[in-house]
Structure 1
């Protein structure tokens, strides 16, 4: 079994610092939400699905969208165009850990889900509204992509 290759020892320390920061961040949300009413969405599964769809959309918006490129620019370099309105980026050598975090929707998704879940304990109606909007955008994105595929398929049938 091969061990994953790692950058410098400093990169390992940075990974540990990010993990520690996440622990503090998640703990702060737990403490802030202690004794609060919690989510307003009826049914646990619908709340998980809503938060999941919102997390998907917001993490992609932050980590891949062309419009949010200025937020990632200090830490990443554009590699190539990605999915529609998205960019594929690689971390800058000066910031490999933060660049990886900010350009990876899966990595960023953990932070986004923690934020939405924690904020929902404090501001349930407001966060639920934001989650509904993000979930609606995620649904619309999927429908746009499906429509484009159907149009291409229909045009292919006519030739």
Structure 2
């Protein structure tokens, strides 16, 4: 099946202009941050220790899950998504709605993988300006991640023991 040369997908539903707008917002935000940080004398760290990469990675993971799947953060997603179901534990599943930028934001807020790029960018900007504070925040998000995995392990052991 061939598609129109100007059409990206078969249904014509991919909001490319909305995605471009979101990418522009991210790039503009990082650029503005870099200019302000430089004008205030913020210097990039000489190196990024492996432990900080792990800590930032775990915090990025948890932040993206909180934004895209947590029931309590539904108010953030609601203008751009609609609830379609429930996932594991207390997570919810949403799907994007609308067209254009609204749809693009909905796509972003439904995808933990997509949102993680934004979360990592925010955490890295924070890390350059205030590494100690960022480590503290990331440590808290890391602790929640460990607690989640322990909750899953406990549930699994309860189910296994009951069989």
Q: TM-score range by the shorter chain?
A: 0.7 to 0.9
**Which one of 54, 67, 74 corresponds to residue 72 of structure 2?**
67
1:20 matched residue in structure 2 = 24
- Counterparts of 1:39-78 in structure 2 under 5 Å? 44-78=49-83
Give 1:53 deviation, angstroms: 0.4
Give 1:5 deviation, angstroms: 4.0
1:134 matched residue in structure 2 = 141
- Counterparts of 1:104-119 in structure 2 under 5 Å? 104-119=111-126
Q: Deviations over 1:6-27 (max 9, x none)?
A: 6358x22111111111111222
TM-score normalised according to structure 1 size: 0.86
**Which one of 33, 37, 42 corresponds to residue 36 of structure 1?**
42
Give 1:4 deviation, angstroms: 4.5
Matched residue SS, 1:88: strand
Ranges in structure 2 where 5+ consecutive residues have no aligned partner: 3-7
Runs of 4+ in 1 over 2 A off after TM superposition: 2-9, 26-39
TM-score normalised according to structure 2 size: 0.84
- Residues 113 and 151 of structure 1, relative CA distance in 2, 3 Å threshold: same
Residues in 1 aligned to 2:13 and 2:49: alpha-carbon distance in whole angstroms? 43
Do the aligned residues in 2 keep the contact of 1:64 with 1:88 (CA within 8 Å)? Answer: yes
- Residues 120 and 77 of structure 1, relative CA distance in 2, 3 Å threshold: same
Matched residue SS, 2:162: helix
Q: Deviations over 1:89-131 (max 9, x none)?
A: 0001242211010111111100100101111111222111111
2:5 matched residue in structure 1 = none
Give 1:37 deviation, angstroms: 5.2
2:104 matched residue in structure 1 = 97
Do the aligned residues in 1 keep the contact of 2:18 with 2:103 (CA within 8 Å)? Answer: no
Do the aligned residues in 2 keep the contact of 1:38 with 1:124 (CA within 8 Å)? Answer: no
1:146 matched residue in structure 2 = 153
* CA RMSD of superposed structures (Å): 2.3
